[in-house]
Amino acid sequence: MKKIFLLKICFTLLLTIFSSVYANEFMENIEEVRKNKDNVTFILSDTLNEYISKNPSWNSSDKSSLSYIASRCGILNKVISKRLKNNAAAQDIYNLSLIDAVLFSSASSDIYKTRCINYDCIKEKRKIAQEREKKWTLIYEEEAEKNIDIYGKMISEDINSDFSTCMNKVKPILK
């Protein structure tokens, strides 16, 4: 019995070490790509509208797509709220974005949890979601910077398109 317990502990430690190594390697690779490609890689590849048009069953039978879309909406709102946190004139928008970030992220999490039949599946989906959050946070932050530099406001172009999609198409489904 003690041997099984010790094996479980060793397995858990190995799993933790390898997942940490993988996450560090992932972030190093992202940084290397950013340096080598002069940030061109992090242009918004598909707006949510484009993704939706490629996945027409996103709001009915395709729960994976709905989880992905809700996740991106949560990430976008988190980036918006983070940028407006210390802006006294934008506290109403900050608060709404923060609430929406929680709503979208929770919905995405609930969707993948209901699709999993065991804890290992939930851990795997959570890991995928965390990697997606890192990737899309970088993309949305860079897009926001670009919009501020070019248009003088954060919510413009592709961010505006994604934000509108989140509020007008996705949020009503999640409520």
Question: Do both 53 and 32 map to the same domain?
Answer: no
| Nearest-10 crossing angle of helices 157-165, 63-84 | 120
Q: How high is the pLDDT of residue 137?
A: 96
Question: Do both 20 and 64 map to the same domain?
Answer: no
Can you tell me the distance from the alpha carbon of 146 to that of 10, in angstroms, rounded to the nearest whole number?
A: 47
Question: Do both 105 and 164 map to the same domain?
Answer: yes
Question: Do both 21 and 59 map to the same domain?
Answer: no
Question: Do both 59 and 36 map to the same domain?
Answer: no
Can you tell me the distance from the alpha carbon of 25 to that of 22, in angstroms, rounded to the nearest whole number?
A: 5
Domain count, the chain: 2
Question: Do both 5 and 75 map to the same domain?
Answer: no
Question: Do both 56 and 31 map to the same domain?
Answer: no
Q: How high is the pLDDT of residue 34?
A: 47
**pTM (two decimals):** 0.73
Can you tell me the distance from the alpha carbon of 106 to that of 70, in angstroms, rounded to the nearest whole number?
A: 9
C-alpha torsion angle, residues 57, 62, 68, 74 (rounded to 10): 80
Question: Do both 31 and 109 map to the same domain?
Answer: no
Question: Do both 34 and 56 map to the same domain?
Answer: no
Host domain of residue 24: 1-40
Amino acid at 14: L
pLDDT in tens, the chain (175 residues): 666 655 556 555 444 554 544 444 544 554 554 444 444 444 566 899 999 999 999 998 899 999 999 999 999 999 999 999 999 999 999 999 999 999 999 999 998 888 888 889 888 988 998 999 999 999 999 999 999 999 999 999 999 999 999 999 999 999 7
Q: How high is the pLDDT of residue 25?
A: 54
Question: Do both 30 and 53 map to the same domain?
Answer: no
